[in-house]
Amino acid sequence: MFRRTVGFVKAVNDVSFSIRLGETLSLVGESGCGKTTTGRCIARVYNPSSGSIHYQADEGESVDLAQLDSRELRPYRRQIRMIFQDPFSSLNPRLPILQIVGESLKANRIARGSELEDRVAALLKRVGLRHEYIRRYPHAFSGGERQRIGIARALALNPKLIVADEAVSALDVSVQAQILNLMQDLQEEFNLTYLFIAHDLSVVEHISHRVAVMYVGKIVELASTDALFRSPLHPYTEALLSAVPKPDPRLRNSGVRIRLEGEVADPSNPPSGCYFHPRCPYAQDRCRHEEPAARQIRHDHWVACHFAEELELRGFEAIGSTPDVRQARARAQPSRKVPKT
């Protein structure tokens, strides 16, 4: 929560979740729901006002990142890195790629001189860029290539956890596919854990093991990707899923679209009870007065809704894909194992 002259904005309020080693957890929600703030608190770009962030360090002991001061944080900053949304504004235009990617190696006294160059060249190669590019400046690269540079920078210190904040949102669909594939390859190779922040549900569905849905600073539902997309338990999740355009004209009028009336609630002046009740088609009296607590309803499926057991919500209908897409899929590589939990 940040201090403003006009009052407090509870950008992220009472959010609890855990990320398992080697998994991709996605945070989804509309703009202003606090997903970016959550990610930045974990990377300690922002300081949380209260709460704890437990991080399992190498030696097995768990540390609370929220309590550490900047000097104590240093070893963990190596392990938690960020990838940003806009590949144009997140790279310093006045530094060559060698410095952008190598800065953290130099600052941590890991490599310098020709060794630094070799390491940066190896990183560039790993993300699919030519090592000759090492002395070029960001303006010489396209959006997709810049995002690869951002990924190389995040990888430089062998991190454990990567917070990817809308990492593919600004990219064209063909480039987006390249970057998503690269991120999945890197996850396998280095056993990375991703906190993937996104608003595009089809991308989220593709890359995540588990998904958390946020609304006005709170997590309203958290479940495995399959469970969340097939059988959502929160009305907001249902509405989000129904709004996704389906890439097949033959399905145009097939699904029922739930129109959300009104606007996202103002986080500085949230509604009483359940924050979603003014827009919820199923809202009842209880929702106006009583705030729902997050409950585990099915195995590993958490939801904050009073009526989660009673409502019968629709999931993302199985979309009949076109024959061309099936062919492409047959050509794709075999699927990988889901990490042990």
| Ranges within 191-210 binding other proteins (CB under 8 A) | 199-203, 205-209
- Distance of alpha carbon 201 from alpha carbon 199, whole angstroms: 6
* For other proteins, the closer CB: 96 or 128: 128
Q: Does 89 bind other proteins (CB under 8 A)?
A: no
- State how far Cα 73 lies from the chain centre: 22
Minimum distance from CB of 130 to other proteins (Å)? 13
* For other proteins, the closer CB: 112 or 257: 257
Crossing angle for the helix pair 113-126 and 97-107, nearest 10 degrees?
A: 120
Q: Does 189 bind other proteins (CB under 8 A)?
A: no
* For other proteins, the closer CB: 16 or 321: 321
Question: Max alpha carbon distance in the chain (Å)?
Answer: 68
Minimum distance from CB of 109 to other proteins (Å)? 36
Question: How many residues sit in the footprint of other proteins (CB under 8 A)?
Answer: 64
- The two tokens of residue 150 are 């951002």
Q: Does 49 bind other proteins (CB under 8 A)?
A: no
Residue pointed to by tokens 């703030």: 37
Q: What angle do CA 196, 340, 240 make, to 5 degrees?
A: 35
Minimum distance from CB of 127 to other proteins (Å)? 14
- The two tokens of residue 229 are 């997309």
| Ranges within 263-302 binding other proteins (CB under 8 A) | 263-264
Minimum distance from CB of 188 to other proteins (Å)? 8
The stretch near other proteins (CB under 8 A) out of 70-78, 151-159, 174-182, 303-311 is: 174-182
Three-state DSSP class for residue 307: coil
Determine contact, residues 183/167, Cβ cutoff 8 Å: yes
